[in-house]
Amino acid sequence: MSGYVLTAEKITEFGEFLRKEECQRTTVEKYLRNVRFFAAWLDGRAVDKELVTQWKACLQERQFAPSTVNSRLAALNRFFGFAGIEECRVKFLHIQRCAFREDSRDLAREEYKRLLEAARHTGKERLGLVVETIGATGIRISELAYITVEAARRGRTTVDLKGKMRAILLPGKLCSKLLAYARKSKIRSGEIFRTRSGKGLSRRQVWREMKQLGHRAGVESTKVFPHNLRHLFAIVFYKAYGDIVKLADILGHSSIETTRIYLMTAGKEHVRQLNRLGLVM
């Protein structure tokens, strides 16, 4: 080991590298944040495999969720590849797939309706329409920028992210709502969901406003975040049509295994399924 010291300058260079690789802005931010966490823990010590292994154990001792540990290790491993010190890479934690979702994260259809009603009653028209758009199409929060006036007129939009392009069809009723909102807001073209200054809504802003909306609607905060609307769409679509292949295409998943994760039932439903087996005499 050559005694590689992780400096602020090297982390900045890593960020530039990720941007040139056309990584998502949120991915770049997450990777840099996690590498900085590790650098602070190193406190000036040179990087080696043993220290990285200690860092991994430290995260586990501090009872971080396995998925969080793996997320931080992914950032480090990507950095080590960039820095040419592949020998420092460590293995991820093995996480056994869970057969059900935690009840605290399972957003029910009725709770979704309460969010929309709360938005209407409190005059949060834009936020309500954001919730409805994600819920009715299953798009990612990062894909909101592709919901434009032109797209609402055509009834479809084309998303180009991570080097992948896919067409997203928009329900007719949703298109009517989007165009009515655009006319009211004097938006003639381009992105429909904008701030007062004309910039597109940020992930952080939508997240914050949704948490406030959840409080007003009486929905647990653990259930109210943009990506959970995508899970709700997946569950409702699959229950209606039972076509996991088509659902994977709609969600933009390259693997059906990813789509299966979206379709996990809540813990309470899983218990009901076990009870219906009638194997306890």
Please tell me the number of Cα atoms within 13 Å of 256 on its side-chain side. 6
Task: Give me the percent of the chain exceeding a pLDDT of 90.
Answer: 73
Minimal CA–CA distance to 128: which of 260, 216, 58, 187?
Answer: 216
Measure the CA–CA gap between 177 and 128, rounded to whole angstroms: 11
The answer, yes or no, to whether residue 267 has pLDDT greater than 60, is no
Measure the CA–CA gap between 64 and 80, rounded to whole angstroms: 22
What is the model's pLDDT at position 212?
Answer: 97
pTM: 0.69
Task: Transcribe the chain into DSSP letters.
Answer: ---B---HHHHHHHHHHHHHTT--HHHHHHHHHHHHHHHHHHTTPPB-HHHHHHHHHHHHHTT--HHHHHHHHHHHHHHHHHHT-GGG--PPPP-PPPSEE-GGG---HHHHHHHHHHHHHTT-HHHHHHHHHHHHH---GGGGGG-BHHHHHHTEEEEEETTEEEEEE--HHHHHHHHHHHHHTT--SSBSSB-TTSPBPPHHHHHHHHHHHHHHHT--GGG-SHHHHHHHHHHHHHHHH--HHHHHHHHT-S-HHHHHHHTPEEHHHHHHHHHHT----
The answer, yes or no, to whether residue 2 has pLDDT greater than 80, is no
What is the model's pLDDT at position 186?
Answer: 95
What is the model's pLDDT at position 1?
Answer: 45
Measure the CA–CA gap between 105 and 230, rounded to whole angstroms: 13
Q: Contact, 178 vs 129, CB < 8 A?
A: yes
What is the model's pLDDT at position 193?
Answer: 97
What is the model's pLDDT at position 278?
Answer: 74
Measure the CA–CA gap between 107 and 223, rounded to whole angstroms: 6
Give 177's pLDDT tier (boundaries 50, 70, 90): very high
Ranges 84-88, 99-103, 205-209: which has the least confidence:
99-103
Q: Average pLDDT of the chain?
A: 90
